[in-house]
Amino acid sequence: MTDSQVIDIITDAMLVASQLAGPLLITALVIGVGVSLLQTVTQIQEMTLSFVPKVLGLALVFVVAGNWMLRQVVNFSEQLWESIPSLILGG
């Protein structure tokens, strides 16, 4: 296994990880900003008010995009598994 093969595997893994984390992080960010604005306007400073909407939003993202996320992980794992012989043999 060469250095370039290791770098390619790590790059692909980081790309898949960022693709999977992106929708979740964006959803949490948007909900967090929205709740913060609501708390600022209404002057309600309740911690659960920011936690519960984020949990519900992330659960909705998992329901909507969970199938796609699972396919991404499975495809990456299959490609990595299929490349093992060429990585070992160096060809």
CA distance 68 to 24: 13
Give the number of residues written for the chain: 91
pLDDT digits (tens, 9 = 90+) for 58-72: 999 999 999 999 999
What is the residue extent of each domain of the chain? Answer: 3-89
- Least Cα distance to 33 among 71, 41, 10 occurs for 41
User: Which token pair is 89?
Assistant: 């043999």
- Global pTM reads 0.80
Q: Which amino acid is at 55?
A: V
**Alpha helix positions (H), the chain:** 3-42, 47-82, 84-89
The pLDDT of residue 91 is 59
pLDDT 10s digit of each residue in the chain, 91 long?
Answer: 888 999 999 999 999 999 999 999 999 999 999 999 998 898 888 877 888 999 999 999 999 999 999 999 999 999 999 998 888 887 5
Residue identified by tokens 């309740």 is 46
Compute the distance between CA of residue 34 and CA of residue 47 in angstroms, rounded to an integer. Answer: 14
